[in-house]
Chain A
Amino acid sequence: MKKDKYFYMQLLFTLAVCSFLIVPVVMSAVAGVTNNYFVGIKSGFTLRWVEQVWMLYSDTIWLTMKIALATTMINVIVGVPCAYVMASSKSRWVSVFDELLTLPIAIPGMAISLGIISVYGGFSDFRSSWFFILIGHVIFTLPFMVKSVLAVLQSFNFKVLEEGAASLGASFWRRFFDVIIPNCKAGIVAGMLMTLTLSIGEFNLTWMLHTPLTKTLPVGLADSYASMRFEVSSAYTLIFLCLILPLLVLAQMLNNKKVQNN
């Protein structure tokens, strides 16, 4: 299509939208390494805010990574077989269960976490452990894992591959691990990246489920936004971005690869 004045008008508009999204990211990254943001960049760059965040909040970062990895592991173990059954079963219960499974995406984390507290809040050992946050994260991310694997399973005729393996003498479990799992790899990896990203950034559920001893990164962020100086909050945000951006880039790359293969 030819590039007339409409092209440049729309380009300008799009650039404005993009800068609305990107400028604050860059600003907070810069603020995180600036000596005194109130004075400006001319005050010089420093890593001392980052160091300060590390001293104050490094435990939240470790806990977040622990929870994210555990959530991902559970999602793979629970979600992949679940997606397989949902793709292969013709039972009408599948669609009922599908609805139930995806409901946590639709219902605000607020409601889910209040519900979890109302049922399990009384078990104080459980309430005060990081497992309490873990179950919230699993409930919230599991549907994404299942959907991701399900999408791959529905894109090729896995039934006939299974029949092929069976005709060669493979038992159910052999078929599952030799044929189904390797051919869903793309969906599993995409689901894992999604789970990691979501779990690292999860706030809505976590804020209600956390205790002073089980603070995750986003909880710490909210804490610092309310009580810390600007540069510290920015440095903390910068650390968060550094954790999450590689995952996003990886997901984008996988996605591009998929498009090319098609």
Chain B
Amino acid sequence: MKNTRISLFLVLPAIIISFAFFLLPIVQLFKVSVVEGNGISYWNILTQPMYLKSLLSTVGLSTFVTFVSLVIATITGLFLTRYEFWGKQVLIAMLSFPLAFPGVVIGFFVIMLAGRQGLFAQIGLALVGERWMFAYSMAGLFLGYLYFSIPRVVLTVMGAAEKLDQNLIEAGRSLGASRWQIFCDVTVPTLRPGLISSGSICFATSMGAFGTAFTLATNINVLPMTIYTEFTLNANFAMAAALSLILGLVTWVCLGIAKRQGAASVGMGG
């Protein structure tokens, strides 16, 4: 039928771009990871401590960042939906703008806070006479990841909290439930889908965050940095391909979980 032909014509450019510049490259990457390394790359990842350690430390860091972000975002998100006060819109804008900052810039912001001339160094100098510096450590990385995670999670929690039925809370109070009981029995169940979806997104972004790591993790082996080193310094394309495919698989699964929980939009690069 004629309509089908027009539809195909309209969608064809998108299909071509998608196939040529995404599907084909990913397939090629898979081929490279299997053929060039004789399939040994995947085995190496599991057996060589360097790669395994990199994978595990990235997972560990991402999990911790996700957990802390969720706690912070729940408190802040609930607060911002529950109360009306002067300047609230400004706070919300402040919380959402960092969404668009690329990872490198966030890395620089961490240097601003915890670098040699950073805020913490000044405070430390003033208080105890020594500079507090941790920008280029795991703690600095954690701070950076937290920076790009908080906005995503806060906005999702706010979206979920708006659906919170005030009647339920009032009903809970009328039945004599304490603040804490209401939080556990009414608030958290309502927020749960939002928390799971934004948590998955947060975890996925942390796993793949290259920009922040590139600025800060010169001495830390997180997965994106390992991939980069394999590719540029060791010229081990097969290993880089295998690692990035594993990374891709992990983040894809995470975002699949987020999607099933009804995440409206998935965040931007970290």
Contact = CB atoms under 8 A, between A and B. Distances in A.
Interaction A to B? yes
Interface of A: 1, 3, 6-7, 10-11, 13-15, 17-18, 20-25, 27-28, 31, 37-38, 77-79, 81-82, 84-86, 88-89, 97, 100-112, 114-116, 118-120, 135-136, 138-140, 142, 144, 146-147, 172, 197-198, 201-204, 207-208, 218, 221-222, 225-226, 230, 233, 237, 240, 244-245, 247-248, 252
B29 interface: yes
A120 B24 CA distance: 10
Contacts of B102: 201-203, 218, 221
Contact of B265 (A25, A86, A147): A147
A14 B76 contact: yes
Given A24-B112, A135-B17, A218-B211, 19 more contacts: A7-B83, A10-B83, A21-B97, A21-B151, A22-B94, A24-B109, A100-B18, A106-B204, A107-B26, A110-B208, A110-B210, A114-B241, A118-B25, A198-B100, A204-B269, A208-B231, A222-B214, A237-B105, A244-B101
12 contacts: A20-B150, A100-B23, A106-B204, A107-B252, A114-B227, A115-B28, A119-B28, A138-B21, A203-B103, A204-B103, A221-B104, A237-B108
Chain B residues touching A, majority SS: helix
B251 A108 contact: yes
B181 interface: no
Residue of A146, A197, A201 ringed by the most chain B CB atoms within 10 A: A201
Nearest to B102: A201
Interface of B: 6-7, 10-11, 13-15, 17-18, 21-26, 28-29, 32, 72, 75-76, 78-80, 82-83, 85, 91, 93-98, 100-105, 107-113, 117, 119, 146-147, 150-151, 154, 179, 204, 207-208, 210-211, 214-215, 224, 227-228, 231, 237, 240-241, 244-245, 247-248, 251-252, 254-256, 265-266, 268-269
A110 B247 contact: yes
A23 B150 contact: no
A135 B110 CA distance: 31
Contact of A203 (B7, B104, B247): B104
A230 B24 contact: no
A52 B179 CA distance: 57
B112 A31 contact: yes
Contacts of B109: 24-25, 28
- Is the contact region of chain A dominated by helix, strand, or loop, or is it mixed? helix
A28 B104 contact: no
A100 B112 contact: no
Contacts of B228: 110
B113 A114 contact: no
Contacts of A77: 13
A248 B154 CA distance: 17
A225 B106 CA distance: 11
B191 to A, nearest CB: 15
* Minimum-distance CB pairs A-B, first 9: A115-B25, A108-B208, A24-B109, A81-B10, A82-B14, A111-B244, A201-B102, A10-B79, A107-B248
A28 B113 CA distance: 10
B13 A14 contact: no
A82 B26 CA distance: 22
A119 B97 contact: no
Contact of A248 (B6, B22, B97): B97
A178 B163 CA distance: 37
Nearest to B16: A78
A119 B25 contact: yes
A93 B79 CA distance: 43
A103 B24 contact: no
Given A20-B147, A25-B109, A103 B83 contact: no
Nearest to B14: A82
A101 B11 CA distance: 12
B108 A221 contact: yes
Contacts of A202: 102, 269
Given A14-B91, A139-B22, A207-B210, A23 B113 contact: yes
Nearest to A244: B100
A49 to B, nearest CB: 14
A108 B248 contact: yes
B103 A1 contact: no
A150 B12 CA distance: 17
A257 to B, nearest CB: 14
Nearest to A108: B208
Contact of A85 (B11, B94, B154): B11
